[in-house]
Copies of this chain bind each other. A is one copy, B any other.
Amino acid sequence: MSQAAESSGRAVVLLSGGLDSATCLALARAHGFACHTLALSYGQRHDAELRAARRLSGVLGAVEHKQVNIDLDGMGGSALTDASIEVPDEPGEGIPVTYVPARNTLMLSVALGWAEILDADQIFIGVNAVDYSGYPDCRPEYIESFQAMANLATRAAVQQGRRITIQAPLVRLSKAQIIERGLALGVDYAETVSCYRADRQGRACGRCDACRFRRAGFEDAGRPDPTRYQTPA
């Protein structure tokens, strides 16, 4: 975060409403950034996570929250956006059906445009490549290549030499380490929704990939799991 000292102090923080992005927001706040949080509604099965994002933005002290809607529903291609594809209980081989094609590229693109408009020089994204589902757009090399592209894409960078830095502070942390950081910063994880099959109240299924990684994280950290489950675990 070398540019912080000379920055405008503004950051766009991608906030999905899950455990990782909430921690990411808490870290950005702890570094003193004025945070503008951004959630993308792209036809997720449930909007419990979008409501959680809005709530967390306020609780964790962001300046404002924006939800951008994009109608990818008709495109299909993922268990998270296509009702005809089941979210599996058991992890399979390779990248799972919950992968949403080019999702992080799309979210970072919207964030890039908004950062340029806001005169923000940081974008925070809570991607993680340790305890994760193997999505290609969560890996450090992907983030680095997006950074290289962003340096050529904006008027801010090309005309004014003002680059927008992509910060992925969780990318090399284990889920347990992420939870430890967040708890130290006062994040209430009961407020976050990670589950791919959360119900309308935001309660988790306890069985999908996202639930498994999350539950194991609390176990590895030796901390009580505050997640609200649909049926007691």
Expressed in whole angstroms, the minimum distance between the Cβ of A207 and any Cβ of chain B is 23
Are B149's CB and A142's CB within 8 A? yes
Report the Cα distance A70→B70, complex, angstroms.
Answer: 4
Distance of A88 from chain B, by nearest CB (Å): 16
Q: Which of the segments A133-141, A174-182, A196-204, A216-224 contacts the partner chain?
A: A133-141
Judge whether A71 is part of the interface by a CB distance below 8 angstroms: yes
Q: Which residues of B contact A137 (CB under 8 A)?
A: 152-154
**Contact residues of A between 118 and 155, Cβ < 8 Å to B:** 135-137, 139, 141-142, 145-146, 148-155
Is A105 touching B95 in the complex (CB atoms < 8 A)?
no
> Is A190 in contact with chain B by the CB < 8 A criterion?
no
Copies of this subunit: 2
Pairwise interchain contact A155-B116, C-beta atoms closer than 8 A: no
In the bound complex, CA of A66 to CA of B76 (Å)? 13
> Interface digits, A59-88 against B, CB 8 Å rule (1 contact, 0 not)?
000000010111110111100000000000
For A109, the chain B residues whose CB sits under 8 A away are: 102, 105-106, 109
The answer to whether B70 touches A66 (Cβ under 8 A) is: no
Q: Which of A68, A113, A145, A158 has the most CB of B within 10 A?
A: A113
CA A157 to CA B68, docked complex, whole Å: 28
A95 touching B159, Cβ below 8 Å: yes
CB closest residue in chain B, given A78: B117
Contacts of A112 in B (CB 8 A): 101-102, 105
Is A149 touching B105 in the complex (CB atoms < 8 A)?
Answer: yes
Neighbouring B residues of A66 by C-beta, 8 Å: 74-75
| A110-B106 CB under 8 A given contacts A95-B158, A139-B152 | yes
Closest Cβ–Cβ distance, residue A64 to chain B (whole Å)? 11
Chain B nearest CB from A110 CB (Å) reads 6
A–B complex contacts, Cβ < 8 Å, 25 sampled? A69-B69, A72-B113, A75-B114, A77-B116, A95-B155, A99-B155, A101-B112, A101-B117, A101-B154, A102-B109, A102-B110, A102-B112, A102-B153, A102-B154, A104-B153, A105-B109, A105-B113, A106-B113, A109-B109, A136-B154, A136-B158, A136-B159, A142-B152, A145-B145, A146-B149
